[in-house]
Chain A
Amino acid sequence: MSRPAIFYIAAGCALAGAVLAFDAGEDLRTDTQLRAMADELARSKTLQLNSLDKPYFVQYSTSDAEQVAIRASLGGLISSEQTRFRSPRVDIRVGDYKFDNTNSVFSRAVRIRAFPIDDDYLAIRTAFWLSTDSLYKIASDQITRKRNAVRELSDPDSTPDFALAKPIHMLRPIANYDLEQRRWEGILRELSGRFVGHPEIVTSAVAVRLISSTYRLVNTEGTAIRIPQDASELQIRATAMTPDGNRVWNHRFLTALRPSDLPSEPELQKAVDEVANETEALAKAPLADDYSGPVLFEQEAAPQLMAQVLTNAIALERKPIAPQESNPPRTIESVWSSRLGSKVTPDWISIWDDPSPQQFNGMTLVGTYEVDDEGVPAERVAIVDNGTLKDFLFSREPVRNFKSSNGHGRLPGSYGSEQAAFGNLFVHLSEAVPEATLKSKLLERVKASGLKFGLIVRSIDFPSTAGVDELQSLIRQAQKSGYIRSLNAPLLVYRAYPDGREELVRGLRFREFSAKDLRDVIAAADHPYVLNYVNNGSAINHADAGADATTSSVICPSLLFDTVDLARAESEPGKAPIVPLPTLSTLRSQPSALNEPALLRVAKIQRIPTHSQ
């Protein structure tokens, strides 16, 4: 049986509760983990293998975490686990800031597996001692191969491998709080049980992942960090069957930092009921045809769209050094990579990333953090200024002419470097109209284009819960049409008729869509919508990817696009199941006692005898 994917929060946090002053008096030495890490780090600088390079940079970091993961369906508990774990990482660089063992096809990060969860100084130091030793040997090998590869290249990339950064000390107090596993089991049983009233829904589940962790970092430049990190995510998923035997799926993600920031139970119940009703409606909705025309992205669909197109657009990829004869590794280039200084959107649009605000319009943001996972303080970055592209998000990995980090290294990247990811991304449109006016504008465009109806997209599959079949179909469709960038499937799409009527449809997929299409925005609403989500750094952002993740927010109002192309999804004619659905009974089965794990009929309970020493 597989365990649910545990996500590792790379960086990012809010100061929990009240604002706390920076505790300059906190001594690193009173924290056992930091002390053990710092002491072993000091020795690591002396490592040397024969006449090979000594390390010029060593960094130890750990995520010390407690996680609760619970899943329930139709009122029954499927799984409930509470885990304590520590996820350490060692980064070793040999060479120098200009040329080191990273950014080549030979460079890859190595995860340490077994690591003490006790605050045992010697055990922690021993674990770092062994990992440092083997990683140093690997790093020496990596730089040798890289040097050999570079020798054969006629015009190798001479960008420095590592950006300089000022060392900082930031030690925040650790706040321990109860993740209330039992309470959440009860909540999920109740929430998932609401689907019993929707017998047409074939599969449904409500799941929660609550993680409370502390991130510690020390490096040989003198940086020492200890910051709390939290993430709480509740997922509601449902699928239903159409008369022609196809599956439709729908979901809702509710993301916050602390569990106490998640919506109240009545709000969660409302969300479950909405997902259920929408899913039932989807199963009965007609299949849509190909469409090319104005599209209104309403409510969460707008920031979902932005998150997808901008994930790749505002982080520059660097091509790793590879041997002459090898196949160049594929990287998805940013569509804005050569557009710095040019107009990339209409000039009434500005986009910036600001990790400092904790709230927006009364909603708690989850992309708030003080320092990224490389120990660089977070910066506000003006990315698009009145339509002109000004900047990108960076970690300490230099790319082209960009030589320094702007504090956005939030996820492990490829080839030994850190990947840049959003904090709180703001999309601001200075020309905005009330929400209701936006729909009228859509219908105006519809009439003007001579179309019978326009489309309103209210939800996109982001984060994605698409099944394997759907993902494969997406890839096939893209390959056939020759494009590589698109959006995930729209979940809720409505035809908007000139008389004001709306009709839910299904079976549409976006064609090619990237940040270039932002030029087609013609109107925006005046009230931004906040999307909080768990971000694994990929544009598709599949919820079950099991990768490292962080939390991000995208703040963006509803958007009207002039022309968007959608096509009917290719689908095999499905077969309806031969056996009809079993009826659902509303008789509640007895939930097991709340403080014992569920057991079948028990013959005898005994204590394991404690043997005398």
Chain B
Amino acid sequence: MLALPAPSLVDILKEELSREFAALKSKADPAPYYMAYEVTEEQGESVSASFGALVNSGQQHARGLDTTIRVGSPEFDNYHPYKGSRGQFTSFAPLSLDDNTNQIRRAVWSESDRVYRLASRRFLQLKTDEQLLADEREHDADFSAEPPAVYSRLPETYKYEAGAWQDRARAWSAEFKKYPRILASSVVFRGQREIRTLVNTEGTAVQVGNNLFRIEINGTALASDGMDLGNFSTIEASDPAHLPSDAAVDARVREVAGKLDALVDAPPAEPMVCPAILSGRASAVFFHEIFGHRIEGHRQKDITEDQTFTKMLGQKVLPDFISVEFDPTRADYSGVDLIGHYEYDDEGVKARPVPVVEAGVLKTFLLARSPIGTFTHSNGHGRRQPSFEVVARQSNLIVESSKRVSEAELRARLIEEVKRQGKPYGLYFADVSSGFTTTGRQGTQAFKVIPLVVYRVYADGRPDELIRGVDIVGTPLASFQKILATSEKSSVFNGYCGAESGSIPVSAVSPAILVSEIETQKRQNRQEKPPLLPRPETE
């Protein structure tokens, strides 16, 4: 039998795409004007351990298809936002892991049929509804024009020694055993290779991908008054050579565990309005949650959103020594891998750096192929988790400051500000958590930041005092306008951000910041009772 070279995934998709598009354009009413297929393949390993014992060890490999069909015209199509909805058409249809032509073509055909029906139904409904929207102002076009792209770069493949990683996870998680007051804990290692293959009817054919390695360290405990406490830390890399040594991870586990144990004895927070320093990591999370989400393009179009920044284009939104840029093209910052890095977004648009704030002034938003006002083109930030529809999302958020001082100087200024305001102390936020940092690819915790490790900084020379249960009151957006100075060095925070288009990897880079005012209160205490029997020690 003659062995012919098997067609590649890109070939199969392109062929089926043109067949579908031609047939629908000639026979369907309403006819599509644009179609795209994006196949995401994820292959990974994960290992998790708790208190020295393995809890989970598995391999995952899956491949699926997301389908985009647009009917109508770029000015008005089935994705037109209406009453806070943009339509949900795609679902992650499973595809054969090997390039099996038959299965892939069938799955593509079946999905295209299903998505077409949903698209045409919504489009026809919108056309009727639109007539009822008597007072809709001039609306933006629904789809922008972008040049096609042809590109291919597959990520490296790494072989895993599952046994070695299981042993590491066991050893690292065993560190928690030294702290008997820690009730639950885990150390998880995940390694994942993702490949995205995108073709569309404009001629785009892009195949890109990333590797991501992540170590997650997690612990929970109970204070004597029943307040539940937690501490959490992650380590990310795109290249396993960039993961820290086993000893360094060990040290990090000890740090998380030790801090959590100390929190058990720490006094609870009181309500307080005072100056504060947010560490580089904490600031990064803040900027991501409080600022980053507010400049995602789709929020500016949505009448149900709090459009804080929509009308502030060209105005000062941050102090004039602060600039913010989103740059997906950066793979690392000062030797730390940035996991929000990509070359082409999920609409096949080439990534590029986007200066969002220059010298405090808001210049633009993060944009996908959904035009807003004077912004008629995407800036390469159309992103999604498989099975979701694309919207503009964050990539690598980088905060730059022209008012940088040393750590010591920053601290001195904090104390100066505390004295000036006549407060008993200021606060130092060493570590915080949010929907951005928590594990599990779920949770849309946009705008919410949970302090984990916070200290009181006294003006009278007393040593810093760890406190627990700090809750930030209201949105600290106002605090950001009260940034007084920043540190010299920046820190990187990598994590998974959950929002309308699902969970995606992002990063944020920021120096430590000094703010003149932040308002905090004591977190509500659920008053859990500690275990009645002592922890089992030995046989």
The residue that B55 contacts in the complex, of A115, A611, A612, with Cβ under 8 A, is A115
- Whole-angstrom CA separation of A85 from B183 in the bound complex: 22
B24 CB to nearest chain A CB (Å): 6
The answer to whether A83 touches B532 (Cβ under 8 A) is no
The answer to whether A597 touches B50 (Cβ under 8 A) is no
Answer yes or no: B110 CB below 8 A from chain A CBs. yes
The answer to whether B532 touches A48 (Cβ under 8 A) is yes
Instruction: Spot the interface stretch: A286-294, A327-335, A581-589.
Output: A581-589
- Whole-angstrom CA separation of A84 from B92 in the bound complex: 26
| Also in contact, A129 and B100, with CB within 8 A (given A1-B64, A121-B539) | no
The answer to whether B51 touches A600 (Cβ under 8 A) is no
Which residues of chain A are near B374, meaning CB under 8 Å? none
| Also in contact, A129 and B533, with CB within 8 A (given A589-B6, A600-B9) | yes
The answer to whether A130 touches B27 (Cβ under 8 A) is no
Answer yes or no: B16 CB below 8 A from chain A CBs. yes
Interface of chain A residues 10 through 55 with chain B (CB within 8 A) = 35, 39-40, 43-44, 46-49
A503 CB to nearest chain B CB (Å): 30
Which residues of chain B are near A589, meaning CB under 8 Å? 6, 98-102
The answer to whether A598 touches B61 (Cβ under 8 A) is yes
A481 CB to nearest chain B CB (Å): 30
For A83, the closest partner residue in chain B by CB is B58
Which residues of chain B are near A579, meaning CB under 8 Å? 19-20, 23-24, 27, 109, 112-113
- Whole-angstrom CA separation of A115 from B186 in the bound complex: 11
| Also in contact, A598 and B246, with CB within 8 A (given A47-B532, A115-B55, A578-B113) | no
Answer yes or no: A610 CB below 8 A from chain B CBs. yes
The answer to whether A578 touches B24 (Cβ under 8 A) is yes
Which residues of chain B are near A606, meaning CB under 8 Å? 156-159, 240
A107 CB to nearest chain B CB (Å): 20
For B385, the closest partner residue in chain A by CB is A1
The answer to whether B94 touches A79 (Cβ under 8 A) is yes
Interface of chain A residues 591 through 607 with chain B (CB within 8 A) = 591-592, 597-607
Answer yes or no: A74 CB below 8 A from chain B CBs. yes
Answer yes or no: B293 CB below 8 A from chain A CBs. no
The answer to whether A76 touches B62 (Cβ under 8 A) is no
Dominant secondary structure at the A interface = loop
The answer to whether B99 touches A611 (Cβ under 8 A) is no
The answer to whether B96 touches A74 (Cβ under 8 A) is yes
Answer yes or no: A479 CB below 8 A from chain B CBs. no
Which residues of chain B are near A575, meaning CB under 8 Å? 117
Answer yes or no: B184 CB below 8 A from chain A CBs. yes
The answer to whether B16 touches A582 (Cβ under 8 A) is yes
The residue that B106 contacts in the complex, of A81, A121, A123, A582, with Cβ under 8 A, is A582
* Contact-residue size bin, chain A (C-beta under 8 Å from the other chain): 35 or more
Interface of chain A residues 44 through 97 with chain B (CB within 8 A) = 44, 46-49, 71-85
Which residues of chain A are near B533, meaning CB under 8 Å? 43-44, 46-47, 129, 133
B212 CB to nearest chain A CB (Å): 13
For B539, the closest partner residue in chain A by CB is A121
For B170, the closest partner residue in chain A by CB is A118
- Whole-angstrom CA separation of A3 from B60 in the bound complex: 9
The answer to whether A582 touches B43 (Cβ under 8 A) is no
Interface of chain A residues 561 through 594 with chain B (CB within 8 A) = 575, 577-582, 584-585, 587, 589-592
Answer yes or no: B59 CB below 8 A from chain A CBs. yes
Answer yes or no: A363 CB below 8 A from chain B CBs. no
The answer to whether A123 touches B50 (Cβ under 8 A) is yes
Answer yes or no: B164 CB below 8 A from chain A CBs. yes
For A128, the closest partner residue in chain B by CB is B536
- Whole-angstrom CA separation of A122 from B539 in the bound complex: 8
Answer yes or no: B331 CB below 8 A from chain A CBs. no
The answer to whether A597 touches B61 (Cβ under 8 A) is yes
Answer yes or no: B79 CB below 8 A from chain A CBs. no
- Whole-angstrom CA separation of A603 from B245 in the bound complex: 26
Interface of chain B residues 153 through 172 with chain A (CB within 8 A) = 154-161, 164, 170
B174 CB to nearest chain A CB (Å): 10
The answer to whether B157 touches A598 (Cβ under 8 A) is no
Answer yes or no: B52 CB below 8 A from chain A CBs. yes
| Also in contact, A585 and B50, with CB within 8 A (given A117-B55, A129-B533) | no
The residue that A608 contacts in the complex, of B57, B116, B160, B538, with Cβ under 8 A, is B160
The answer to whether B183 touches A130 (Cβ under 8 A) is yes
The answer to whether B61 touches A79 (Cβ under 8 A) is yes
The answer to whether A78 touches B24 (Cβ under 8 A) is no
- Whole-angstrom CA separation of A124 from B195 in the bound complex: 38
For B160, the closest partner residue in chain A by CB is A608
Which residues of chain A are near B55, meaning CB under 8 Å? 114-117
Answer yes or no: B289 CB below 8 A from chain A CBs. no
Answer yes or no: B408 CB below 8 A from chain A CBs. no
The residue that B161 contacts in the complex, of A591, A597, A608, with Cβ under 8 A, is A608
The answer to whether B98 touches A587 (Cβ under 8 A) is no
Which residues of chain A are near B16, meaning CB under 8 Å? 582
The residue in B50, B155, B160 that gathers the most chain A C-beta atoms within 10 A of its C-beta is: B50
Which residues of chain A are near B156, meaning CB under 8 Å? 603-604, 606
The answer to whether B536 touches A597 (Cβ under 8 A) is no
| Also in contact, A80 and B96, with CB within 8 A (given A114-B186, A603-B156) | no
- Whole-angstrom CA separation of A599 from B155 in the bound complex: 11
For A44, the closest partner residue in chain B by CB is B533
For A599, the closest partner residue in chain B by CB is B157
Answer yes or no: A544 CB below 8 A from chain B CBs. no
| Also in contact, A592 and B98, with CB within 8 A (given A130-B183, A579-B24) | yes
B214 CB to nearest chain A CB (Å): 14
The answer to whether B43 touches A599 (Cβ under 8 A) is yes
Answer yes or no: A216 CB below 8 A from chain B CBs. no
Answer yes or no: A136 CB below 8 A from chain B CBs. yes
Which residues of chain B are near A48, meaning CB under 8 Å? 532
The answer to whether A196 touches B60 (Cβ under 8 A) is no
Which residues of chain A are near B240, meaning CB under 8 Å? 606, 608-609
A81 CB to nearest chain B CB (Å): 7
- Whole-angstrom CA separation of A601 from B193 in the bound complex: 13
A316 CB to nearest chain B CB (Å): 37
Which residues of chain B are near A609, meaning CB under 8 Å? 240-241
- Whole-angstrom CA separation of A4 from B531 in the bound complex: 35
Which residues of chain A are near B538, meaning CB under 8 Å? 122
A209 CB to nearest chain B CB (Å): 16
Answer yes or no: A137 CB below 8 A from chain B CBs. yes
Which residues of chain B are near A610, meaning CB under 8 Å? 161, 164
Interface of chain B residues 215 through 272 with chain A (CB within 8 A) = 240-241, 243, 245-247
The residue in B61, B106, B164 that gathers the most chain A C-beta atoms within 10 A of its C-beta is: B106
- The proximity string for B residues 305-345 relative to A, scoring 1 for CB distances below 8 Å and 0 otherwise, is 00000000000000000000000000000000000000000
The answer to whether A125 touches B164 (Cβ under 8 A) is no
Which residues of chain A are near B181, meaning CB under 8 Å? none
The answer to whether B158 touches A130 (Cβ under 8 A) is no
- Whole-angstrom CA separation of A606 from B213 in the bound complex: 14
| Also in contact, A74 and B535, with CB within 8 A (given A123-B52, A578-B23) | no
- Whole-angstrom CA separation of A43 from B156 in the bound complex: 52
- Whole-angstrom CA separation of A84 from B99 in the bound complex: 28
Answer yes or no: A310 CB below 8 A from chain B CBs. no
- Whole-angstrom CA separation of A82 from B109 in the bound complex: 30
- Whole-angstrom CA separation of A425 from B112 in the bound complex: 46
- Whole-angstrom CA separation of A607 from B165 in the bound complex: 12
The answer to whether B103 touches A73 (Cβ under 8 A) is yes
The answer to whether A126 touches B532 (Cβ under 8 A) is no
Answer yes or no: A152 CB below 8 A from chain B CBs. no
Answer yes or no: A158 CB below 8 A from chain B CBs. no
- Whole-angstrom CA separation of A599 from B109 in the bound complex: 24
The answer to whether A76 touches B53 (Cβ under 8 A) is no
> 20 pairs across A/B with beta carbons < 8 Å?
A35-B539, A46-B533, A47-B532, A76-B102, A78-B103, A84-B58, A122-B51, A130-B183, A133-B532, A196-B102, A203-B110, A579-B113, A581-B109, A582-B19, A585-B101, A589-B98, A589-B101, A598-B97, A608-B158, A608-B159
List 13 additional A-B contacts (Cβ < 8 Å) besides A49-B529, A600-B99, A604-B157. Answer: A1-B92, A76-B98, A77-B97, A77-B98, A79-B97, A116-B50, A117-B57, A122-B51, A122-B539, A130-B183, A196-B102, A575-B117, A597-B97
Lowest 3 CB-CB distances: which A-B pairs, in order? A76-B96, A76-B100, A123-B53
